[in-house]
Amino acid sequence: MDATPADELTLVECLALLTGQRYGRVVFSERALPAIRPVDYAMIGDHLVVRPLGAGPAAPGRDLATCLHGQVVAFEIDHADADGGWTVVVTGTARALPDTGELLAWDNSHWGNEQAAGAVAISCTDIRGRRLHALAG
C-alpha cells in the first residue's frame, strides 16, 4: 500500500494553523508509558498554554499540570477529510502555571474570565507540520 503523499509546512503555516484552532492533544510520559490527553489551548507569545478538558486527574491523585511539569512533551493538532489534511506537532518543555494571576499576566483574551486552573505553558522548542494529500483513485 502506498503512503499518503505529504509536504512539509513552513513555520508561518504551522503558526497560522496553531492560532486558528482551540483543541489539541498533549503527549507525555506517565509511569514510563506514553499518555495522550485532550486539552484546550492558546498560543501566547512563544508558548502554548494548555489546560485540561473536563475535570479529573491524569492519574490517581495527580492533575495534568503535576504530570507535565518539567517534562519534554509533544502537542498535536490535525485535520483530515476526503481531500487530504494537515498535522502540526510542537515539542517543548512543560511548566505548570500554578497561579491564575500568572496566566492572566500572559494573556486573558482566549479564556476571558473562565477558570484557568491546571494551566501549563509549553515552550515551542520545535514546530513541524505536514500537509497531507488525498490519494488518487
- What is the spatial distance between Cα 61 and Cα 56, in angstroms, rounded to a whole number? 9
3-state helix, strand, coil in the chain (%, to 5): 15, 50, 35
d(CA 125, CA 90): 7
Distance CA 46, CA 16 (A): 13
Closest-CA residue to 69 (of 25, 30, 116): 30
The pLDDT of residue 30 is: 86
At 130 the pLDDT is 95
**Cα 16 to chain center, whole Å?**
14
- Cα 30 to Cα 112: distance, rounded to the nearest angstrom: 31
pLDDT per 10-residue tile (average), the chain, 137 residues? 73 94 92 90 85 57 77 95 92 82 57 65 94 75
Question: Domain segments of the chain: what residues?
Answer: 6-132
What is the distance between the alpha carbons of residues 84 and 119, in angstroms, rounded to a whole number?
32
Contact between residue 131 and residue 9 where contact means Cβ atoms under 8 Å apart: yes
pLDDT of residue 83: 84
Whether this model's pTM surpasses 0.85: no
Instruction: Give me the CATH code for the 6-132 domain, please.
Output: 2.30.110.10
Cross-strand bridge partners of residue 120: 50, 96
